[in-house]
Amino acid sequence: MTFFRLTFLSTRSEALTCAVRLALCRSRLILLITRLADPLGRTFTTEGSNAVPANPSTYDVNPLEHPASAEVPSNPVALVVQKFGGTSVADADRMREVADHVKRTRSRGDDVVLVVSAIGNETDELLRLADEVNNEPPGREMDMLVTAGERKAIALMCMALHAVGVPADSFTGSQAGFETDNNHRNAKILSVDPRRVRDSVDKGRVAVVAGAQGMSTDNNVTFLGRGGSDTTAVALAHGLGADACELYTDVSGVFTTDPRVCPAAKRMESISFDELLEMTAVGCPKPAMRSVEVARAFGVPLHVRSAFTWEPGTWVLEEDPAMERAIIKGVVPDTSQAKITLSGVQDEPGLAAKVFRTLANALVNVDMIVQNVSESDRTDISFTVPLEDLDAATATCESLADSLGFGGVTADPDLGRVSVVGVGMASNPGVAATMFETLADNNVNIEMIATSPIRISCVVAEQDVDRATAALHTAYGLD
């Protein structure tokens, strides 16, 4: 530990050094900073009395080979939850590669629990089939169908592990102890009791758990929704007290912007839970936003990384004091938004309440809302919705127009949003000014603006999103 601590301290300021000394051995935050600071990714965690090595970022060095000290672990086994998405387990070759990776991880002394998604785009395929049979399928049957994808994947993954000599047991969501609410197609986890998973690990086996599923309080099979496997992995890591949760995917980490939009995008070494949560809320597609919420709530260290190159990716962790130096961490483009404007709405108490309650009852997810200052007794209200909800939202608003007496409903699907995110902006003036100047210099008109303490979003024309993204990436020094 000492060696790594010194490596770390030598790279940081005096003030931080003191803080680190005080907090060392107590805080996971500090441990993660240490983990990140070491160029070889070698660390020990020292939580509790049983210090364990946690070296999930790179498995190239066995921490146990390093010189003994008073802090050397007595129970040298880390537990890592590794989640593999659909493309990572798309066919037999890919499953064999994943099995080899699990074997390598174990040979370095770590226990592994796997979470897998359905193979390739099987979930899409099952949804399409269901739609062909019945375009309003019962939720219970829908979940029974969709969860079959992950169930196939866990059995095949276990077979691949057995083939390379790794003993493994598959578990459905229910067997792994996931209890959910009864909201089919999009169930929420209520509790996790991973006893059977733990037993399997204790017997020296790899537990392979089906992602995105559970059992409802009504004893029905439930699906956690698209991208739900990330949430399964994080919740399981928390339930097992794992040292880290690794989300293996087809990109190599979290980038400063979408590399398809802006080739200058760079992979981040680390990002805070808060920042990633904001980024996923405004269009960063991976990891699933719900999984970041769970990780943040329980402080589960996440590592987003590639299942194709196996290189270290991006750590998601508590806020690092050094993060304040980089004011903007990422620029997020999003073209999946649409805008609705209600014109001539009477300016009196209760109207907005009625409109947005009705939209909520129709399960429309409203995001940015702007109400104009009214010059007479009438005003305009504009808000954004996901493009896929536009038709439902427009119909809902039109159904209210007469009874609430507003003039008209205008729907605009050709909208985009560009957001900048970074914890440093909370205490640094000028971030918004730079954003607006950059958009102005590039002749991009801003239609709506929304802010949080660590994010600024501008709604712009869809055709301007890519240009705005690249310009902002340069303006904030991220190129």
Catalog residues that contact ligand ASP under the rule CB under 6 A.
85-86, 117-118, 123, 149, 211-212, 226-230
CB of 396 vs ligand ASP, minimal distance in Å: 27
CB of 334 vs Mg ion, minimal distance in Å: 8
| Residue 304 vs 465, nearer CB to Mg ion | 465
Q: Say which DSSP state 426 is in.
A: G
> Contact, 211 vs 258, CB < 8 A?
no
CB of 46 vs ligand ASP, minimal distance in Å: 33
CB of 223 vs ligand ASP, minimal distance in Å: 8
CB of 170 vs ligand ASP, minimal distance in Å: 16
| Residue 120 vs 416, nearer CB to Mg ion | 416
| Residue 83 vs 467, nearer CB to ligand ASP | 83
Helix segments in 62-121, DSSP class H: 92-107
Q: Say which DSSP state 85 is in.
A: -
CB of 29 vs ligand ASP, minimal distance in Å: 28
| Residue 180 vs 256, nearer CB to ligand ASP | 180
Residues in Cβ contact with 21 at an 8 Å cutoff, skipping those fewer than 6 apart: none
CB of 149 vs ligand ASP, minimal distance in Å: 6
Give 41-48's long-range contacts (Cβ < 8 A, gap of 24+): 41/312, 42/4, 42/66, 43/4, 44/1, 44/4, 44/71, 44/72, 44/73, 45/78, 45/243, 46/1, 46/71
Give 30-37's long-range contacts (Cβ < 8 A, gap of 24+): 32/270, 32/301, 32/315, 32/317, 32/318, 32/320, 33/8, 33/317, 33/320, 33/322, 34/4, 34/5, 34/8, 35/315, 36/269, 36/270, 36/315, 36/317, 36/320, 37/4, 37/7, 37/8, 37/11, 37/12
Distance CA 285, CA 126 (A): 21
| Residue 103 vs 152, nearer CB to ligand ASP | 152
Residue 462 site contact among ligand ASP, Mg ion, none (CB < 5 to 8 Å, cut-off depends on kind) = Mg ion
CA angle, residues 172, 173, 175, in degrees to nearest 5: 65
| Residue 66 vs 226, nearer CB to ligand ASP | 226
User: Using CB under 5 A as the criterion, which residues of the chain lie in contact with Mg ion when the complex forms?
Assistant: 335, 415, 462
Residue 335 site contact among Mg ion, ligand ASP, none (CB < 5 to 8 Å, cut-off depends on kind) = Mg ion
- What end-to-end distance do the CA atoms of the chain give, in Å? 35
Residue 270 site contact among ligand ASP, Mg ion, none (CB < 5 to 8 Å, cut-off depends on kind) = none
CB of 387 vs Mg ion, minimal distance in Å: 5
Residue 117 site contact among Mg ion, ligand ASP, none (CB < 5 to 8 Å, cut-off depends on kind) = ligand ASP
Q: How far is CA 322 from CA 16, 154, 296, 425, 429, in A?
A: 9, 40, 19, 13, 18
| Residue 116 vs 418, nearer CB to ligand ASP | 116
| Residue 125 vs 414, nearer CB to ligand ASP | 125
> Contact, 332 vs 268, CB < 8 A?
no
DSSP 281-304: HTT--SS-HHHHHHHHHHT--EEE
For residue 409, give both structure tokens. 């409903």
Residue 86 site contact among ligand ASP, Mg ion, none (CB < 5 to 8 Å, cut-off depends on kind) = ligand ASP
CB of 117 vs ligand ASP, minimal distance in Å: 3
| Residue 125 vs 199, nearer CB to ligand ASP | 125
Q: Of 469, 465, 455, nearest to 327 (Cα)?
A: 455
